[in-house]
């Protein structure tokens, strides 16, 4: 955010909620250029008690501390609410991804909210851990008209206006890289 605001950086990849905050805090001087990340949040479980969102009621889960207050937490709370669970009925223990991995692979049971690639790392380290819920699929159940987009590319509006050919070239190369 600081690099974009100062003009040190012209284009950046960020979470969609961060992009919205940047847009509002800068009165539109930072704007969205492209959407880029869908479906990267999962509920993992060592066990077999979680089959649907409402099964999380009364449970304790691990979640990465670096997403506290960000998209994953907001999405998780929204999905709980839409499935009849008050978010206060789920205890979240905020840990580093490394701490979550250690707890999931060393324990006999455990539940965590993890984004990719950390979720993949946990699944690879312990065959007893399974993907219980794909939060994109859960989102589609309660909001079928829209997909769960979590990441985007933003640009300084002044840069985009001053360099339309470079922006077009960037988007062309960005599309090719995908």
pLDDT one-digit tens code per residue, 117-128: 889 999 999 999
SS3 content of the chain, % helix, strand, coil (to 5): 45, 30, 25
What residue ranges of the chain have pLDDT lower than 70?
Answer: none
The whole-angstrom separation of Cα 142 and Cα 36 is 22
Length of the chain counted residue by residue: 178
Is residue 101 within 8 Å of 118, Cβ to Cβ? yes
Which tens digits make up the pLDDT trace of 25-60? 999 999 999 998 787 899 999 999 999 999 999 999
**CA–CA gap between residue 41 and residue 167 (Å, rounded):** 30
At residue 38, the pLDDT reads 80
Contact 33, 160 (CB under 8 A): yes
**What sign results for the dihedral spanned by CA atoms 160, 162, 168, 170?**
negative
Q: Which residues are CB-contacts of 34 (< 8 A; sequence separation ≥ 6)?
A: 152, 153, 171, 174
* pLDDT computed for residue 125 by the predictor: 93
pTM of the model: 0.78
* pLDDT score recorded for residue 168: 97
pLDDT at position 154 is 97
| pLDDT at position 148 | 84
Block residue for tokens 């998780």: 76
The pLDDT value given to residue 54: 97
């Amino acid at each position: 955010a600081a690099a974009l605001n100062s003009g040190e950086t012209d284009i950046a990849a960020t979470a969609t909620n961060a992009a919205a905050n940047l847009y509002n805090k800068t009165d539109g001087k930072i704007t969205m250029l492209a959407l880029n990340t869908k479906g990267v949040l999962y509920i993992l479980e060592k066990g077999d008690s979680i089959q649907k969102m409402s099964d999380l009621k009364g449970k304790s889960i691990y979640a990465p501390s670096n997403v506290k207050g960000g998209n994953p937490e907001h999405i998780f709370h929204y999905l709980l609410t839409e499935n009849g669970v008050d978010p206060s009925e789920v205890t979240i223990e905020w840990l580093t991804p490394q701490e979550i991995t250690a707890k999931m692979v060393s324990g006999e049971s455990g539940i965590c909210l993890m984004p990719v690639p950390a979720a993949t790392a946990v699944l690879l380290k312990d065959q007893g851990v399974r993907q219980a819920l794909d939060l994109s699929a859960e989102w589609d159940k309660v909001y079928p008209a829209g997909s769960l987009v979590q990441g985007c590319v933003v640009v300084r509006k002044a840069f985009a206006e001053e360099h339309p050919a470079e922006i077009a070239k960037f988007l062309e190369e960005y599309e090719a890289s995908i």
